[in-house]
């Protein structure tokens, strides 16, 4: 039963929330980033991208100190306020085809270290250290880790009861997503929610493995910090997540489509298909030279008893990437790229047709229960096994790492 507690957030004033909250600056093109920095003095990009346009970029501790200074400027200028009481925060994102609702609070580093907050991905030590150093200097966390849990009807009912009043924030971001946020400070309701979450056996990291690991390193570096023994997270029922697949893109293979198909015939039943084919587990779509082919492993192929080895992302490595394209390191091989498959293959088709890559491999999305089983079995999925939404915003809520 992992701990989940409310906290005193630093957050934008109601009139500036839509101007402050932002996606990661790495998700913007240089043109869009420059436009936002030049035309919106309130965007949290001003904090996390403190170098002025045209200046030489800074790195490491020098950059982190600039971030910390800009953060304090936002507080001193009144763009951000600090809550006077501990709150849970109901947060909801709505797109044209999906609504995501969850609770933002703080989870314990000790539960992460003890395996009550379960992982399904490896992390890179260098990135963990970099994020830890960032937290050590800036002393704040501005983006929640996304955690999932098994569905719980009582938690769903609690959310409904506590989101009936006007939302503190209600705005639509430039990507067309509607954002709503309700702070909950009533102690009776807080205690009720804490008890409900305490009844759950485990939490699962959906997005934010490196941020979780770096928070643990920060806690180990500053064990006396009470705030540092927790990290900000959004808890979402696993049936409220959207999972999409990552398509694999291959270039510099120096192979014709006919040669690739010939090699694949050893292990797959192959037939011509079309881009929007509704894929099932164990099926793949290959695109190259303007044609789509459906691949299905032959019944005679012996399957591993390991659940993670039976995932389509693992099968793609064993039967396509390794033997056909000689791609053995999925993390570092520059011939391989990944693209979220959010539009029935249209984007990956356009990428291949442009000549940037030669082949695309599509597969069916995983289910949340698959991710949970991998984590419960203490196994690790191949890189980019699943693309999970919602994608959370920076600066909407900030978790202070000092104990003031």
User: Is position 370 within any domain?
Assistant: no
CATH number at residue 71: 3.90.1530.10
Spatial contact of 67 and 398, defined as CB atoms under 8 Å apart: no
pLDDT at site 303: 77
**Residue 288 token pair:** 């190259």
Please check whether residue 283 is in contact with residue 294, taking contact to mean a CB–CB distance below 8 angstroms.
yes
Q: What is the residue-averaged pLDDT of the chain?
A: 94
Q: What is the CA radius of gyration of the chain?
A: 23
Q: Which among 21, 73, 74, 30 has a CA at the least distance from the CA of 54?
A: 30
Count Cβ atoms below 10 Å from residue 201 Cβ, excluding itself.
11
Percentage, residues of the chain above pLDDT 70:
100
Helix (H, G, I), strand (E, B) or coil at 4: strand
**Does residue 355 share a domain with residue 212?**
no
28: confidence class by pLDDT, cuts 50, 70, 90: confident
The answer to the question of residue 336 being in a domain is yes
Please confirm whether the linkage preceding 215 is cis (ω < 30° from 0): no
The reply to whether 187 and 73 lie within a common domain is: yes
| Count of CB atoms situated within 10 Å of the CB of 32 | 12
- 227 and 308 share a domain? no
Task: Assess if residue 274 is contained within a domain.
Answer: yes
| Reported confidence tier of residue 141, pLDDT bands at 50, 70, 90 | very high
pLDDT of residue 26: 75
Say if residue 41 is in the same domain as residue 181.
yes
Judgement on whether residues 310 and 396 belong to the same structural domain of the protein? no
Answer whether residue 382 is part of any domain: no
Q: Is residue 75 a part of any domain in this protein? A: yes
φ, ψ (nearest 5 deg) of residue 60 = 60, -145
Helices (H) and strands (E) in the chain, counts: 14, 21
Same domain, 178 and 205: yes
- Is residue 43 situated within a structural domain? yes
Q: What is the pTM of this model?
A: 0.93
Q: What is the residue range of 144's domain?
A: 4-242+389-400
What is the pLDDT at residue 104?
98
- Regarding whether 255 and 237 lie in a shared domain, the answer is no
- State the pLDDT confidence band at 322, using cuts at 50, 70 and 90: very high
Number of domains in the chain: 2
Distance CA 47, CA 75 (A): 11
Tokens linked to 257: 């489509």
Domain co-membership, 290 together with 205 = no
Examine the domain organization and report whether 18 and 147 are in the same domain. Answer: yes
CB neighbourhood size of 25 (10 A): 18
Same domain, 79 and 223: yes
**Does some domain include residue 115?**
yes
| CA gap 378, 380 in Å, rounded | 7
For 225-276, write each residue's pLDDT tens digit.
999 999 999 999 999 999 999 999 999 999 999 999 999 999 999 999 999 8
| CATH number of the domain where residue 262 is located | 3.30.1760
First to last CA, the chain: 28
Mean pLDDT of the region 32-42: 92
Shared domain check, 154 and 47: yes
Say yes or no: 67 and 157 in one domain.
yes
């Amino acid at each position: 039963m992992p701990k989940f507690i409310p906290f005193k957030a630093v957050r934008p004033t109601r009139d500036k929330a839509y101007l402050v909250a932002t996606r990661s600056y790495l998700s913007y093109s240089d043109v869009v980033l420059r436009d936002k920095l030049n035309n919106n003095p309130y965007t949290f990009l001003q904090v996390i991208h403190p170098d002025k346009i045209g200046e030489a970029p800074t790195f490491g501790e020098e950059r982190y100190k600039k971030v910390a200074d800009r953060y304090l400027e936002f507080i001193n200028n009144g763009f951000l306020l600090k809550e006077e009481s501990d709150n849970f925060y109901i947060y909801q994102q709505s797109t044209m085809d999906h609504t995501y609702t969850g609770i933002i609070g703080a989870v314990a580093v000790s539960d992460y270290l003890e395996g009550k907050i379960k992982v399904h991905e490896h992390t890179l030590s260098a990135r963990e250290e970099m994020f830890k150093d960032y937290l050590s200097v800036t002393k704040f966390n501005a983006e929640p880790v996304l955690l999932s849990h098994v569905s719980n009807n009582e938690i769903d009912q609690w959310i409904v009861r506590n989101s009936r009043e006007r939302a503190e924030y209600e705005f639509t971001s430039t990507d067309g997503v509607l954002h709503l946020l309700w702070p909950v400070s009533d102690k009776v309701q807080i205690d009720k929610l804490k008890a409900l979450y305490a009844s759950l056996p485990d939490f699962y990291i959906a997005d934010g493995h490196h941020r979780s690991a770096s928070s643990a390193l920060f806690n180990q570096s500053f064990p006396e910090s009470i705030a540092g023994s927790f990290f900000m997270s959004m808890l979402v029922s696993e049936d409220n997540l959207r999972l999409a697949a990552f398509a694999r893109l291959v270039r510099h293979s120096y192979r014709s489509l006919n040669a690739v198909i010939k090699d694949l015939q050893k292990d797959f039943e192959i037939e011509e298909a079309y881009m929007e084919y509704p894929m099932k587990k164990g099926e793949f779509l290959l695109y190259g030279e303007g044609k789509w082919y459906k691949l299905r492993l032959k019944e005679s192929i012996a399957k591993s008893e390991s659940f993670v080895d039976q995932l389509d992302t693992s099968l793609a490595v064993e039967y396509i990437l390794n033997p056909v394209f000689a791609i053995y390191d999925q993390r570092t091989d520059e011939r391989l790229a990944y693209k979220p498959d959010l539009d029935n293959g249209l984007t990956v088709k356009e990428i291949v047709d442009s000549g940037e890559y030669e082949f695309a491999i599509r597969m069916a999305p995983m289910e949340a229960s698959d991710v949970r089983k991998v984590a419960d079995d203490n196994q690790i999925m191949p890189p980019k096994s699943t693309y999970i939404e919602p994608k959370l915003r920076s600066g909407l809520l900030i978790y202070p790492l000092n104990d003031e």
